[in-house]
Each structure stands twice: as C-alpha cells, then as structure tokens.
Amino acid sequence: MITTIVDSLAEHATLERYSAGRTLFREGDYPRGVYIVYNGRVDLIFSGKKGSTKALQTAEDGQILGLSCVVSHRCHDCSATTGTDCELGFISRETFLRQIEHNPGLWFSVLQLLSQDVTSCYDCMRNIIDAKQEPKGPSDRRHSVA
C-alpha cells in the first residue's frame, strides 16, 4: 500500500538531497508539505513536557513524513532530522492536498496509512504500560506467600 502512495505521488515530488544532521522541520512548525524518504534514515525527535528531547522513531526508505499534520492542518508533533545522508521527495502541502482531492483511490490509501499510524500508537502505549508493570529490581519484585 505505501508503495502505491509513493508511486502515485512521485511525479509531483521534488528530489532533495540532505546531509546527515539536517533538520527538515521542527516540532510546532506549520507543515509546508510531505517528505518521502527515498534513501536514508530520518530521526523523529519528540520533546517532553520538561524540555528534554529523544529520538523515538526512525523513518526509512519508502516512508512518508508529515502526512497527518498536512491532512489535519496541525503543526508538527515532532522534529525531523536526517540521521544519515538522505534523498527525499518533497511535495508542497497544496499540491499534496490537490492530488488526494482528485484521486479517491489515493485518498483511501492515505486514510489506511493514517489508520496504521494510530494502531502503531496504541501498540506503543501498550508497551509503555507493560514496561511500567515489570519489576525494576530486587526491591520491586512481588513476593508470593506459599
């Protein structure tokens, strides 16, 4: 499915090359468009409430960055920085929205991709819950009475 979306959008993308360490967008920026990762790795960096930051996800070949923010007209939820030298396709917000508006099949594929992202977030939340319930050390272990 992601290949179908990338193939459908490729003719509208401008190929851009970035060296490692380049910031594509920052958390809180209004999205200018979407990026397709053709080659390389992009780190998605999230900020905590106290200002600490951490790379929690990595986008690799064939993935699309900025999709949910462009579709929902929201600012970016994270920052994106190239972890390696990258080749990316950039499609402006206006061009992207025009393409999905005129192509119902593409719109449906985008909807499926966003649904997969939501499911992935639910899985992450479950992992957090499970991690918090695991014993952290000898003093945290539950002792059973036989």
Dihedral of alpha carbons 100, 105, 109, 112, sign: positive
Q: How are strands ordered across the β-sheet holding 79-82?
A: 23-25, 79-82, 42-47, 53-59
Run of H or E residues at 82: strand 79-82
Q: If pLDDT is split at 50, 70 and 90, which confidence band does 49 have?
A: confident
Counting every residue, how long is the chain? 146
What is the distance between the alpha carbons of residues 76 and 139, in angstroms, rounded to a whole number?
Answer: 41
All structural domains of the chain:
2-134 (2.60.120.10)
Q: Of all residues in the chain, what percent carry a pLDDT higher than 90?
A: 49
What is the distance between the alpha carbons of residues 116 and 15, in angstroms, rounded to a whole number?
Answer: 26
What is the distance between the alpha carbons of residues 119 and 22, in angstroms, rounded to a whole number?
Answer: 29
Tokens of 37: 């990762």
Q: Quick one: pLDDT at residue 135?
A: 63
pLDDT digits (tens, 9 = 90+) for 85-99: 999 999 999 999 999
pTM for this prediction: 0.79
